[in-house]
Amino acid sequence: MAGQTIMSAITVPTADPARRSLPARIARFARRNPTMLLGGAILLFFVSVAIFAPLLSGDPMLKAPTRRLLPPSAQFWFGTDHLGQDVFARTVHGARVSLIVGLSVATISILIGLLIGLMAGYYRWVDAVVMRLMDGLMAIPAILLAIALVALNQGSIGVVVAAIAIPELPRVVRLVRSIVLSVRELPFVEAAVSCGARTPRILLLHLMPSTIAPLIVQATYICASAILVEASLSFLGAGVPPEIPSWGNMIASSRLYLARAPWTIFCPAIALALVVLAVNLLGDGLRDKLDPRLSRRM
Amino acid sequence: MLSYLTQRLASTILVMTLVGIFVFLLLHFSAGDPAAIIAGDYATPQQIVAIRQRLGLDDPLLVQFWRWALRVIQGDLGVSIFSNTPVSVLILQRLEPTLSLALLTMMFAVSIAVTFGVLAAWRVGSLVDRVLMGFSVLGFSMPAFVVGYALIYIFAIELRWLPVQGYRSIVEGVGPWLLHLILPTLTLGLAYVALIARMTRASMLDVLEEDYIRTAKAKGVATRTMLMKHALKNAGVPIVTVVGIGVALLIGGVVITETVFNIPGIGRLVVDAISKRDYPIIQGVILLFSGVYVLVNLLVDLSYTLIDPRIRY
């Protein structure tokens, strides 16, 4: 407290962000991070679309043979597909699948990867075994591993999430492990050990905090890649069940109608690319903020 | 060098063994009876029992794994359930399209990406640099099938410059072969170009700050020579590394690109196997692609000494 008072006494008042009004601070943040703001805004838009999907549009499953392959109009904003289904309703509902899969995969792979990575970084014998396993897992191309997992089990969103999360694990484990390896040699960890702190306490209270910022950045990239992989799996017929309107499923079922009804493919495709772009932009912005070492170049 | 080589080979064999164990266990720990999965959806109970006995699925897991691994090492990847043909034969039949597509994409992507990466690093903050960085974010965000359909729509359906889909064997003539591969190569290469260009730029930026670059500039070396000989050669190791790692991207992309463009390659083989639940094919292709990936990265590691003679093992 005392230190803060002295600091604000010597700094110029206008340069102290805590003294600015909230709108001024937001405006300043937006000016300095235009890409992050753009990414956040697009993502927020799609999240609200996903949440309010039933209010925004009609029934995504309603088939009407009399209105097949209609071009976009005032009644059907994105036209209709070869079964007479409303492409707008399906695109809006598809946002749910993409966002749910993206968020669940990011959460699950970060939590499990964090746990394994902490152990691997701290215990040498765990390290030897786990890292070899991760090397093996990394050698299998992610999409193929996911295809095998989905093809073997009955397709459902849960299976798809697991199938996408497992290939993402090695990246998280490696990241956490490398941070733990460098932090565990620092004096404050030694101090905690000599104070008699138990291992779980050291892992969770002293080592884990250093991993949080890089993990948040990693989580956004995993989320973006998970949304892409889910759409790819659905497109290949190894994703969420075909009756669920997901963007990958929509593109797969409309692909024979590319020349006659391009809107059936490009509406979900543009939505998909926008969401992934938004999450990537958000990730780049977070990386610049939280992990400045990395942000210089890439 | 020799001891490094043995060590590196040993770790490669270990990784491939682990991949084998994963692929083997995948079938045995998935929900349901492996015999029922192998028999397919239309099998009778008698057929399932027969398969169970024929494959020795009642033996201990370790015995089964040993038997399976011995066959795989000899190149026997099992027999397709649906067509009753050995998986290795099916893969060989479809090797040409996949190999053509992958090699063409690699050549195209590396030459384009390195050129633009060098230019962007040379003029940081310029228009070229900003366009490249913007393009690379876009390249990571566009799914291959979206890019593919957009290219088909523009160049094949609207402009009618290029064929919509399909593949012509190179023995029918290089012209039609190349013509059918232009759009697939662009589709497959987009993310790969983005990845390599970013790494080239980052690596070049580091090197361009070195003292010897300043010396080269000061003594009046031509810009072109300075960039290509002094800088790019020293920036080579991370670039080659990412070219190797990016092969994973190519493998995933091949599966999607071949589906979009209706190319009868190994990727299509897997996709067709999904709907027929033809597990031996999926298993065989995973082993093959993982092996290729591991091998490419082994070669990349070994090439470091060629690119940078300062590196010695």
- pLDDT tens across B263-279, in order? 999 999 998 888 777 88
For residue A7, tell me if it sits in a domain: no
What pLDDT is recorded for position B313?
Answer: 64
Which residue does chain B place closest to A294, by CA atoms? B202
pLDDT of A210 higher than 60: yes
Nearest CA distance, A270 vs chain B (angstrom): 8
Q: Higher-confidence residue: B58 or A253? A: A253
Scan residues 64-123 of B and list those with Cβ closer than 8 Å to A. none
The answer, for A134 touching chain B at a CB cutoff of 8 Å, is no
Given a contact cutoff of 8 angstroms between Cβ atoms, the answer to whether B144 and B256 are in contact is yes
Give me the interface pTM, i.e. the ipTM: 0.84
What pLDDT is recorded for position A6?
Answer: 46
Given a contact cutoff of 8 angstroms between Cβ atoms, the answer to whether A121 and A180 are in contact is yes
What pLDDT is recorded for position A223?
Answer: 93
Of B18, B21, B270, the CB nearest to A147: B270
Given a contact cutoff of 8 angstroms between Cβ atoms, the answer to whether B90 and B83 are in contact is yes
Residue given tokens 């088909």 in the structure block: B152
Q: Where are the alpha helices (DSSP H) in chain B?
A: 2-28, 34-39, 45-54, 61-73, 87-93, 95-122, 127-141, 144-151, 174-208, 211-218, 223-225, 233-234, 236-245, 247-260, 266-276, 279-307
Cβ contact (<8 Å) for A140 and B22?
yes
What is the distance between the alpha carbons of residues B311 and B301, in angstroms, rounded to a whole number? 11
Q: Higher-confidence residue: A240 or A9? A: A240
Q: What is the pTM of this model?
A: 0.85
Map residue A213 onto helix, strand or coil. Answer: helix
What pLDDT is recorded for position A106?
Answer: 94
Contacts of A132 in chain B (CB under 8 A): 14-15, 18
CB atoms inside a 10 Å sphere around CB A149: 20
Nearest CA distance, B2 vs chain A (angstrom): 23
Residue given tokens 């090439």 in the structure block: B303
Tell me which residue range forms the domain holding A166. 46-294
What is the distance between the alpha carbons of residues A112 and A121, in angstroms, rounded to a whole number? 14
What is the distance between the alpha carbons of residues B249 and B247, in angstroms, rounded to a whole number? 5
What pLDDT is recorded for position B79?
Answer: 84
Of A140, A154, A236, the CB nearest to B259: A236
What pLDDT is recorded for position A19?
Answer: 64
DSSP 8-state code for residue A86? B
What pLDDT is recorded for position A2?
Answer: 42
Residue B65 burial class via C-beta count within 10 angstroms: exposed 0-12, middle 13-18, buried 19 and up:
middle
Phi, psi of A188 (to 5 degrees): -65, -30
- The CATH number of the domain holding residue A53 is 1.10.3720.10
What pLDDT is recorded for position A292?
Answer: 63
Q: Higher-confidence residue: A1 or B52? A: B52
Q: Which helix (H) or strand (E) holds B117?
A: helix B95-122
Cβ contact (<8 Å) for A297 and B202?
yes
Nearest CA distance, B223 vs chain A (angstrom): 22
What does the pLDDT look like over A140-176, one tens digit per residue?
Answer: 888 888 888 888 777 788 888 988 999 999 999 999 9
CA atoms within 13 A on the CB side of B72: 22
Scan residues 207-236 of B and list those with Cβ closer than 8 Å to A. none
Among the residue ranges A109-118, A124-133, A164-173, B111-120, the one predicted with the least confidence is A124-133
Identity at B58, one-letter amino acid code: D
CA atoms within 13 A on the CB side of A280: 21
Cβ contact (<8 Å) for A139 and B152?
no
Task: With CA atoms as reference, report the closest residue to A160 among A106, A222, A221, A234.
Answer: A234
The answer, for A232 touching chain B at a CB cutoff of 8 Å, is yes
Looking at the DSSP bridge assignments, the partners of residue A80 are A86
What pLDDT is recorded for position B69?
Answer: 87
Cβ contact (<8 Å) for B252 and A224?
no
Cβ contact (<8 Å) for A144 and B285?
yes
Given a contact cutoff of 8 angstroms between Cβ atoms, the answer to whether A162 and A186 are in contact is no
The tens place of each residue's pLDDT in chain B, 313 residues long, gives 778 888 888 888 989 999 998 888 887 766 566 677 767 667 778 888 887 777 777 778 888 888 888 888 888 888 887 788 899 999 999 999 999 999 999 999 999 999 999 988 888 888 888 888 888 888 888 888 888 988 988 888 888 888 888 888 888 888 888 888 999 999 999 989 999 998 899 888 888 888 888 888 888 888 888 888 888 888 888 898 889 888 988 998 999 999 999 999 999 999 888 877 788 888 899 999 999 999 998 888 888 888 877 777 6
What is the distance between the alpha carbons of residues A64 and A82, in angstroms, rounded to a whole number? 9
Nearest CA distance, A281 vs chain B (angstrom): 8
* Ordered DSSP codes for A58-101: --TT---GGGTTPPP-SSSTT-B-TT--BHHHHHHHHHHHHHHH
Identity at B258, one-letter amino acid code: E
**Domain residue extents for chain B:** 22-76, 97-312
| Domain B97-312 in this protein, CATH class | mainly alpha
- Dihedral angle of Cα B281, B253, B290, B87, to the nearest 10 degrees: 20
What is the distance between the alpha carbons of residues B230 and B228, in angstroms, rounded to a whole number? 6
Distance of CA A143 to the CA centre of its chain: 17
Identity at B310, one-letter amino acid code: R
Which distant-in-sequence residues (6+ apart) come within 8 Å of B313 by Cβ? B1, B3, B4, B5, B305
CB atoms inside a 10 Å sphere around CB B114: 23
Given a contact cutoff of 8 angstroms between Cβ atoms, the answer to whether A79 and A87 are in contact is yes
Domain count, chain A: 1
Q: Which two tokens stand for residue B71?
A: 């066959």
For residue A20, tell me if it sits in a domain: no
What pLDDT is recorded for position A16?
Answer: 55
Segment A285-293 shows an average pLDDT of 76
What is the distance between the alpha carbons of residues A74 and B157, in angstroms, rounded to a whole number? 27
What pLDDT is recorded for position A9?
Answer: 46
CB atoms inside a 10 Å sphere around CB A171: 18
pLDDT of A219 higher than 80: yes
What pLDDT is recorded for position A4?
Answer: 45
What pLDDT is recorded for position A298?
Answer: 47
Average pLDDT in chain A: 82
pLDDT of A111 higher than 90: yes
Q: Which two tokens stand for residue A58?
A: 């009609």
The answer, for A164 touching chain B at a CB cutoff of 8 Å, is no
